[in-house]
Amino acid sequence: MGDRQVPDIVVGRLPIYLRALTFLKADNREITSSQELGDRLGISSAQIRKDLSHFGEFGKQGTGYEIRYLENNLKEILHVDRMWDVVLVGAGDLGNALASYKGFAGRGFHVAAAFDADPDKIGHEMPGGLLIEDVANLEARVQAAGWKIGIIAVPADAAQSVANTLVGAGVIALLNYAPISLIAPSSVRVEQIDPAVHLQHLTYYLG
């Protein structure tokens, strides 16, 4: 195909396909099929083929998909055929975990700087060796560096204000770990992660 305007729900599945492909590659596999991917991911094979068809034709009839080829294409589509600097705000336990997370590097991301408001933390290093900077300098630093992606790992009552600062400084993609729904201009993409929300989704199904 060649649609413009791919549904967001389709876009959201691509990183999962990419993750599965990288995993298969690490297993020295060279070819896979929509069937095999679907089985691994709990998704129907038709959906995988349909999703991919929004972006091109990546498979061969009778054979399937060349893993390395499809992986490269997905990386390109998702713009992770490059490294993205990410700015982290909040150097608490969660911030520490994110700063020292080894999984980002192989998937297109690099935590470029970390900020906090706590004077006891400012000037010290995070576990990964990153310097904790003063959140007062956040706006200026983001603007100067041109960072586009922010991760918010501050308490709920500070999150909206941090988000506003980041957006004001030019950030256009936010990953929010604070347990509130951020308000942002429609030009800014926001993803939210709240473990309690996920757990409560689960408990609905527990008698």
Binders in 132-191 for a copy of itself, by CB under 8 A: 148-149, 151, 156, 172-175, 179-181, 183, 189, 191
The answer to whether 72 contacts DNA (rule: CB under 7 A) is: no
Task: Give ∠ CA 50-18-190 in degrees, rounded to 5.
Answer: 90
DSSP 43-55: --HHHHHHHHHTT
Q: For 187, which DSSP code?
A: T
Candidates 51-59, 79-87, 130-138, 157-165; binding stretch for DNA (CB under 7 A): 51-59
Per-residue CA distances from 61 to 30, 49, 166 (Å): 16, 12, 47
The answer to whether 137 contacts DNA (rule: CB under 7 A) is: no
The answer to whether 69 contacts DNA (rule: CB under 7 A) is: no
16 binds, among a copy of itself, DNA, none (CB under 5 to 8 A by kind): a copy of itself
DSSP 9-28: HHHHHHHHHHHHHHHHHHTT
Residue 87 in contact with residue 139, Cβ under 8 Å?
no
Task: Give ∠ CA 124-160-150 in degrees, rounded to 5.
Answer: 55
Which residue, 70 or 86, has its beta carbon nearer to a copy of itself? 86
Candidates 32-40, 107-115, 121-129, 188-196; binding stretch for DNA (CB under 7 A): 32-40
What is the rounded distance in angstroms from the CA atom of residue 174 to the CA atom of residue 191? 6
Residues that bind DNA (CB under 7 A): 1, 7-10, 33-35, 43-47, 49-50, 52-53, 57-65
Q: Which residues bind a copy of itself (CB under 8 A)?
A: 11-12, 14-16, 18-20, 23, 40-42, 77-80, 84, 86, 92-94, 96-98, 100-101, 103-104, 107-109, 127, 148-149, 151, 156, 172-175, 179-181, 183, 189, 191, 193-207
